[in-house]
Structure 1
């Protein structure tokens, strides 16, 4: 009798282990933000520079700031708008969050698995908000202020926290969630 697992592995073949899976696919990250994390890990965002490489004739300047070419590194890690979103997010929570390679940062961060998960949720929430604002700016000519985008991230994360079974958290984790304003 053939086992199901061996059939599955035969069908999909072997796949290399990735380092970002525990960051993106953790229980504290909202599913739509998980999808953005997966896209970020695969560098699959259709930024202007990527579209130009595909042969699309467009201006390469960033939709959000207009100060540089819109590529992945600029949009999420160098754009004035995205930097301000993260800055406001840090002010609202009191946490130190990265503006560089956020997936690697989450892997190296200290704290409990819940704390790392919440931080990953906030960072991937920022990725989601920046991409959403970029698309709204592009299609509707509307752009939220960075502090409002940060407030949206915190609101989403609060909803995620309140949807959890608190009996699985210890008192220190609950105190930490209160301290960072998510409870």
Structure 2
């Protein structure tokens, strides 16, 4: 039995009814028998309904147990190229200027904002020469894959990269809205404090990269 919501109802209620009809049709025609089996569950129904694509190479670098969820979410948007930079908004006719907010010199593309902008380069350079010894690369994925080390060391580096992207984007928005921005040295200090909070349990432990984290937080890998 299909449900036809009135046209004046909200879009999400219409979407709920549409999904209900999809499941009802699938039940009648047994379209999911090979996927779900006889025992139905919400999880199995969700897996059947959603479209599955190929697993991307960077998923584990963005979504990991150490990164702050808000950092991972923003980097996920970045990886899809969906951050609303000035260059993107200018191409859509939303802004009249595509200049970078942080340096005021070049077009604000993703590549410029996180790699070529003098503000971002100073932040990333101050984070540690060992972390950013390949800073001329023009994408985050290439920077991650260029790193060598143990699994724990790479995990720490991924967390710092995610946090750096988040904080630089945050300062970019602060400059756009409030017309003020932290000095790079202040931002690096904030980044270090955030990492101390996130790694506190590892610093106290002996495993899971604890030695490398202690070395990192002691300054050997930061503010060098």
Pairwise TM-score range, normalised by the shorter structure:
0.7 to 0.9
Structure with more contact order per residue of length (Cα contacts < 8 Å, sep ≥ 6): 1
1:8 is paired with a residue whose SS is helix
- Structure 2 matches for 1:14-93, cutoff 5 A? 14-90=52-128
Q: Which residue of 1 aligns with 2:8?
A: none
Contact 2:203 2:210 in 1 (8 A): no
- Structure 2 matches for 1:104-183, cutoff 5 A? 104-164=142-202, 167=205, 169=207, 173-181=209-217
Q: Which residue of 2 aligns with 1:10?
A: 48
| Structure 1 stretches lacking a partner, 5+ long | none
Separation in 2, partners of 1:96, 1:71: 20
Contact 2:203 2:211 in 1 (8 A): no
| Structure 2 stretches lacking a partner, 5+ long | 1-37, 220-224
Separation in 2, partners of 1:77, 1:130: 11
Report the CA distance shift for 1:57/1:176 in structure 2 as closer, same or farther (over 3 A).
closer
Separation in 1, partners of 2:187, 2:205: 31
Report the CA distance shift for 1:97/1:43 in structure 2 as closer, same or farther (over 3 A).
farther
Higher-Rg member (1/2): 2
Report the CA distance shift for 1:153/1:104 in structure 2 as closer, same or farther (over 3 A).
same
Equivalent pairs counted in the alignment come to 179
Report the CA distance shift for 1:36/1:18 in structure 2 as closer, same or farther (over 3 A).
same
TM-score (ref. length: structure 1): 0.87
Separation in 2, partners of 1:126, 1:109: 16
CA RMSD of superposed structures (Å) = 2.2
Q: Does 1:95 align with 2:159?
A: no
Contact 1:27 1:117 in 2 (8 A): no
